[in-house]
A and B are shown apart, each in its own frame.
Chain A
Amino acid sequence: MKKKSGSGFRRAVLAVFGDERRQSITIPVFAVVLSLLASAVMLLALGKDPINAFLGMLRGCGIIPKANYAARTGMLTDFMSFLNVLAPMIFAALAVAVASKTGLFNIGISGQMLFAGFIATVVVGYSDLPAAAALPLVIIIGIVAGALIGGIIGFLKYKFNINEVVSSIMLNYIIQYVVSFFINMYYVDPVSRQSMYISDASRLTVTGVEIFGMKADLPLAMLLVPPAIIFAKVLFDRTKIGYEMKSVGLSRNAARYAGMSVGKNMVLSMLVSGALAGLAGVAYYLGYFNSIQPGVLTSVGFDSIAVSILGNYNPLGIFFSSFLITIVSKGSTYMSSSAAIPQEIASIITGLILVVSACTFFIRTKLARMSERELESRRAAEAAETPRPAVPAADDDSKGGER
């Protein structure tokens, strides 16, 4: 790095990212911008127009208008459909955040979603209960079923010291195959090769409502989003349980020393995390969809990890990052068909965002060191009214990475 431009560059970087309190916003934004730039380069290399591709995503989500619409559909149709995928994403990302507060990594969201969705489908979806009874029941069953799986993972960790990442992955596969077995054995729709459709009364989506002459599917699960976000926020910041969970996550030894039950808190956070994942599951399989494709786990469960990290495990941050990642994943379908770009690029963008987000800690310490050095050279400059040269800062630049 050249000395002169180095310090100018440093000042510019610090002007944008220097404020420590704003870093929880500026750094994720930086991650997103960097990944979008990288994907733009990739698209250019493929000979595609990146701007058009990104606009295509927004169009697909009903955020900006498409050139033309089929009869009796419009932006609202797309936007409602977008909200319908957004809701499960938010629940799933909150689930990741709850587990992470106690230092656990719930990578089993997809499995918990599938299990909750399957149980609710079989118990309520195939019944002839009226909507007034069916809908609350779907929600309750989803929450309980998800909590059950989450609780098992927490219990295995607490009782047998089994790494939660390994056990949740194992449970993911077990659930995937077992559900697949039952669907293929008993509930398969011979035409679609998926599970049979659930009753309209049990679906968390009111289909075909006409608003301003546009037909839209109203996502009922979206109504639960604000309460879920508030619940998580209050839990983390204002409750005894939240305080204990954070203590356990930050320092297991200190928590034990303070008389908290580490095991109880881990199981509890996995129960809550699983419950939120279960909610995501019913919103996904009995809301956005109305049947289950056997043999696959939804990518929502994995994308939600990206969302959660990007949102800094903060409920409000998660709301915004869900919005963003869902635009990428949901909008990619339309982008793909309108601009002839492979849809898989969406997961690559998500992946890139994740990779940059994983370096958040590094970026933070790097920034801290930068502002430290800026302060120093400023002090040196002030002291150097005398002709003595200032400390060359570029020297330690090259070594910063080792420490």
Chain B
Amino acid sequence: MSEYIVEMRGVTKRFPGIVANDNVSIAIKKGEIYALLGENGAGKSTLMSMLFGLYEPDEGEIYVRGEKVTLESPAAAAKLGIGMVHQHFRLISNYTIAQNIVLGIEPKKRLLGFLPTLDIKKANRDIAELSRRYGLEVDPTQKIEDVGVSVQQRVEILKMLYREAEILIFDEPTAMLTPQEIEFLLKIILELRAGGKTIILITHKLEEIKQVADRCAVLARGKLIGVIDAATTSTREMANMMVGREVETEIEKKPANFGREILKVEGLTVKNDDGLEVVQDVGFSVRAGEIFAVAGVSGNGQIELADAVAGLAKTSGGRIFLDGEEITHASVRDRILRGMSYIPEDRQNVGLVLDFDLAENLALKSYFKEPFCRKGFLNKSAFEEHGNRLIEEYDIRSGQGIHTQVRSMSGGNQQKAIIAREIELESKLMIFVQPTRGLDIGAIENIRRQILAERDAGRAVLLISLELDEIMALADTIGVIYRGKLLKTAPAAELTSRKAGEYMMGVSA
């Protein structure tokens, strides 16, 4: 019997254009918390997806409890006691919590003695019992679409426990949680280990590794860099290992120099498709040279707030002013022309037309103006010149220059393209929503610097981010949003991240 519960030997996985994992070998002991550290695209998720049976390795072998296994499906992995909480939850929104948990291994009963049917009552009882046993309280009869992110995550964990999984994989589990929720989750993870479970934690947050992990494998560009002991290695060493160079952790921030009020929002209310008020009576203002950051847990109305300011979501109450003029009912185009730039959360589906080339995308907000368009006809050379200039100035890298289809570009360069386009509009107000999500450290640094540069150039910046670190690093003023309401607005200096976290959970002191 091997001392390792999971071993991956010489695993290689290729996707069109990239080698996601290159000859990676790791070995995990039973009952330990094993962290996988690496930047986005380092190959952590791919490696674990192979252990979970979503992909099969092109080369290499996987051993579970000392035996060589082929995992051709998640079902095969589940049989071996492997469970995974994905970064993007895999839940059926219109099913109840209990239905989601039992999906695939539903308890059955015979109706009228012969008709096989689902025994949903038994499922509800079982789930209630299970959730009590592990201290993960949920109401089995609630629908997924009616509960928040942290409850959804509990459901994912319960799904694994219901299947009696022994090896639990968590993919970036803390990305969407408040500090308090993170603390709770880490506690649960430690308890699970105490209960004999083996835990694999995929993350890029060094503090979490320090807090709970026993050992940590560092991946970069698909390769295994090394395996370290979490207790004896400093976070700084880990970071350097992950990035492959010295990391600057602090960005320099000049003192603020506020000008006149650029954006003013009064009593703003937004309803979603179901008629629920997702933004309620929100009011704030952003001055020139100020970064106003909205902090909050995902799904508390911050996206709708940004969309309403940009004109993409209908408001059902309140007023919006841009540089003193009311724009509550102005069209999107009108707002852009009056001076509003918007870096949206969903860069692929909203910020870009993926099947257009780079030149066309870089002109997405100015194609109708001279010199791009004269009397309704397009001037291709204007598109090309403009594209080439931006590629040069903003260091946007792509395979075939301006003629590259944006779909084929990396996430970082896609975001660079959007930011370049939006900065070029020279707007009075810039809205950034989750500007660094999913990017690697180098790109994150770069974008944060750009945001600060825009503020120093005298623009008003509205920043919406789920990462409290980012908000703490950049904001001049912080507004915390909870269930659509702005619970607290304060200068950044007056708010600790701990305090902000409390407001994010709705604790108003």
Contacts and interface: CB of A to CB of B under 8 A. Distances in A.
B59 A256 contact: no
Interface string A220-256: 0000000000000000001111110011001101111
Interface stretch (B21-29, B252-260, B348-356): B348-356
B384 interface: no
A359 B305 CA distance: 42
A345 interface: no
A2 interface: no
A251 B354 contact: yes
A250 B367 contact: no
Contact of B346 (A253, A256, A368): A253
A247 B378 contact: no
A247 B378 CA distance: 14
Contacts of B346: 253
A257 B58 contact: no
A372 interface: yes
B201 to A, nearest CB: 27
A260 B366 CA distance: 11
A399 B15 CA distance: 13
A253 B349 contact: yes
Interface in B329-373: 331-336, 342, 344, 346, 349-356, 360, 364-365, 367-368, 373
Interface string A339-382: 00000000000000000000000000000110010001000000
Contacts, number: 71
Nearest to A252: B349
A254 B346 CA distance: 10
A247 B406 CA distance: 13
B333 to A, nearest CB: 3
B14 A238 contact: no
Interface in A77-115: none
B377 interface: yes
A175 B371 CA distance: 46
Given A240-B367, A396-B58, A254 B376 contact: no
B350 A253 contact: yes
Nearest to B17: A372
A190 interface: no
B16 interface: yes
B350 A238 contact: no
Q: Which of A242, A258, A259 has the most CB of B within 10 A?
A: A258
Given A257-B332, A396-B58, A250 B356 contact: yes
Contacts of A257: 310, 312, 332, 342, 344, 350-351
A240 B376 contact: yes
Nearest to B361: A254
A240 B368 contact: yes
A240 B373 contact: yes
B290 interface: no
B311 to A, nearest CB: 8
Nearest to B307: A257
B56 interface: yes
Interface in B374-391: 376-378
A369 B350 CA distance: 28
A384 interface: no
Interface residues of A, dominant DSSP: helix
A254 B332 contact: no
Contacts of A250: 353-356
Contacts of B376: 239-241
Contacts of B364: 247, 254, 258
A12 interface: no
A239 B365 CA distance: 15
A256 B332 contact: yes
A391 interface: yes
A338 B376 CA distance: 53
B336 A259 contact: yes
Contacts of B56: 399
A239 B476 CA distance: 44
B377 A238 contact: yes
Interface string A121-133: 0000000000000
Contacts of B368: 240
B355 A391 contact: no
A77 B150 CA distance: 76
A254 B367 contact: no
A260 B356 CA distance: 16
A353 to B, nearest CB: 25
Given A240-B373, A241-B376, A399-B56, A259 B14 contact: no
Nearest to B421: A258
B58 A238 contact: no
A303 B355 CA distance: 28
Nearest to A393: B58
A272 to B, nearest CB: 14
B378 A251 contact: no
B37 to A, nearest CB: 28
Contacts of A238: 377-378
A260 B377 CA distance: 16
A32 B180 CA distance: 63
A163 B354 CA distance: 24
Given A239-B376, A243-B360, A254 B353 contact: yes
B351 A254 contact: yes
Nearest to B335: A259
Closest 4 CB pairs of A and B: A259-B333, A259-B332, A253-B350, A258-B364
Given A254-B364, A257-B332, A391-B59, 11 more contacts: A238-B377, A239-B376, A240-B376, A240-B377, A242-B378, A250-B355, A251-B350, A254-B351, A259-B331, A259-B336, A396-B58
19 contacts: A238-B378, A239-B378, A240-B367, A240-B376, A242-B378, A243-B367, A246-B353, A247-B364, A250-B354, A251-B353, A253-B349, A253-B350, A254-B350, A257-B332, A257-B351, A258-B365, A368-B16, A369-B16, A395-B58
Interface of A: 238-243, 246-247, 250-251, 253-260, 368-369, 372, 376, 391, 395-396, 399
